[in-house]
Every structure is written in structure tokens, then in C-alpha cells.
């Protein structure tokens, strides 16, 4: 810790979990930081690279409750005001469903110097780790990144599944394991072909990555049989079928 100099906060994306997919900058900052605030999503290998005395876990607490966002915001400001170089490490890219935008705004409001360090988002790397390109010239010219966390049966759901089905493009759903039955129903109701390929990629690029594939009709039972749990990415669209075509030659994960 330096005494008088003002500190700085780096909002750093860790990538999906394989330490080799950290950016060079993220790796350097993890080494240089005085303190690293993280949750569990960067994965055990990357978290294990950070010396224990520098780590602060602001993810799920022992009782299963999330650390309140207000606490994390306040802690970032406090540490920076003490003169620390702080890394706020988040899974994937911190600005993709990562509440990085809220932390950025809070730091700016409090006059704290802040820098965004992009990471490889699981929304793209997750499918890739299973041999699935999110776009493909032959099948799809658009891709949508969607939260599966909202209940599609609720009237006030912010996600318009009808409109998403109508794009005809790839849908990549994050936080979408629990509500898989609801949004696959919503997509079928919206007219999407029940035979559309769907893939689930759990803990993409972690040593225990798991992939399960099916169709819009079968994926819920596939999920249950394979025991897929969060964190996982759901890929819906013709591109999900690519996995079968390349599997024999697929190396890396």
C-alpha cells in the first residue's frame, strides 16, 4: 500500500476461467494490485493465482446470500481513497451482465480514477469452447445476448422472447439454467422450430467443463439427465448443431 498517492480501481474481466485466457494486462494487474476484490465466477484456477493476503471475496457469503452491491461499491471507494491499487475482478467481461456499469458509475461519482480492462466474455468463449461459433455465414447473421434470469411468465419481464425468436439469429442465454423450461416454452410459443439445436456449456474452459446438446424440445430433459448446473451458457440456433460436425477434430477443451 502506498501512503499519500491517490489509488485507482481497475475493473478487470478475467475471461471465462482458463488462466491462459486472461489478457496480458489482467495478469500484470493481478500481480501489481494491492487488493483484488472478486467473486467465484473467475473460477478456482484464476482465483488460486492471487496471493491469499490480497484477496477479498465479495461473492456469495457462507449462508448463500450475495454480498450486497452497496457493500462492494463502498469498499472499492474506501480502498482507493486509502491509496491502494485495486483490481475488481469479474468473470468474463465486467460490462456483460456483470454490474460493472454500476461500479463504474459509483466510482466516477466519488471521483475515483478508474479504468476498464476488457475480458473475454463467456457469452462468446463459452460456445467456442464447445465448438460452436456464435455466428456462421451459412445460418445466422445476428446474435443476441440475453439474461435467462427473468421469469418469462411474468408480465413485467424485460426480455421480449417473441421478438428474439423473430430475429432468426443465434440466442446466447446467460444465467439461464434454472428458467430453461420457461424460456424454451416461450420461444416455442413464439413460433420457433422445436427441432432448433440447443447446447448447454457448463463451466466453459474450466478443467471440469461439461457440454450437453439437444433441441428446443428435448433440452430440459437433457439438462436434467446431464445434471447441468450454473454457471452455464445456453446456445440456441442452427450454430449449436455445428458441434456435432466438428467434434471429432475439436481440440483444446
Catalytic residue annotation: 39, 60, 175
Which of 33, 79, 143, 233: binder of ligand SAH (CB under 6 A)?
A: 233
Q: 197-202 and 210-215 as β-strands: parallel, antiparallel, unpaired? A: antiparallel
Residues 6+ apart with CB under 8 A from 144: 164, 167, 169, 170, 171, 172
Hey, which residues between 18 and 47 contact ligand SAH (CB under 6 A)?
41
3-state helix, strand, coil in the chain (%, to 5): 35, 20, 45
Compare residues 1 and 250 and give the one whose CB is closer to ligand SAH: 250
Hey, which residues between 192 and 231 contact ligand SAH (CB under 6 A)?
201, 203-206, 230-231
Q: What are the strands of the beta sheet with 143-147, ordered from one edge?
A: 143-147, 170-174, 232-236, 197-202, 210-215
Hey, which residues between 88 and 147 contact ligand SAH (CB under 6 A)?
90-93, 96-98, 121-123, 126
What secondary structure letter does DSSP report for 44?
H
- All three cell numbers of 211, joined, read 457440454
Pattern 43-82, ligand SAH, x by CB under 6 A: ----------------------------------------
Residues that bind ligand SAH (CB under 6 A): 16-17, 41, 90-93, 96-98, 121-123, 126, 174-175, 201, 203-206, 230-233
Amino acid at each position: 500500500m502506498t501512503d499519500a498517492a491517490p489509488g485507482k480501481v481497475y475493473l478487470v474481466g478475467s475471461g471465462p476461467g482458463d488462466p491462459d485466457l486472461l489478457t496480458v494486462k489482467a495478469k500484470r494487474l493481478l500481480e501489481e494490485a494491492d487488493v483484488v476484490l472478486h467473486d467465484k465466477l473467475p473460477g478456482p484456477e484464476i482465483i488460486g493465482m492471487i496471493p491469499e493476503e490480497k484477496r477479498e471475496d465479495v461473492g456469495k457469503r457462507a449462508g448463500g446470500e450475495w454480498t450486497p452491491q452497496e457493500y462492494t461499491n463502498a469498499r472499492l471507494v474506501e480502498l482507493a481513497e486509502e491509496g491502494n491499487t485495486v483490481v475488481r475482478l469479474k468473470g468474463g467481461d465486467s460490462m456483460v451482465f456483470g454490474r460493472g456499469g454500476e461500479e463504474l458509475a459509483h466510482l466516477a461519482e466519488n471521483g475515483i480514477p478508474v479504468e476498464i480492462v476488457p475480458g473475454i466474455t463467456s457469452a462468446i468463449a463459452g460456445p467456442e469452447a464447445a465448438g460452436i461459433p456464435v455466428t456462421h455465414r451459412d445460418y445466422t447473421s445476428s446474435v443476441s445476448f440475453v439474461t435467462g434470469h427473468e421469469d418469462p411468465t411474468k408480465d413485467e419481464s424485460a426480455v421480449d422472447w417473441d421478438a428474439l425468436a423473430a430475429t432468426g439469429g443465434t440466442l446466447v442465454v446467460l444465467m439461464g439454467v434454472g428458467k430453461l423450461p420457461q424460456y424454451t416454452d416461450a420461444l416455442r410459443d413464439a413460433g420457433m422450430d422445436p427441432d432448433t439445436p440447443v447446447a448447454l456449456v457448463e463451466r466453459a474452459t474450466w478443467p471440469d467443463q461439461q457440454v450437453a446438446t439437444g433441441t428446443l424440445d428435448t433440452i430440459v430433459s437433457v439438462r436434467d439427465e446431464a445434471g447441468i448446473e450454473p454457471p452455464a451458457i445456453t446456445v440456441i440456433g442452427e450454430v449449436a448443431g455445428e458441434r456435432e460436425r466438428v467434434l471429432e477434430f475439436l481440440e483444446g477443451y
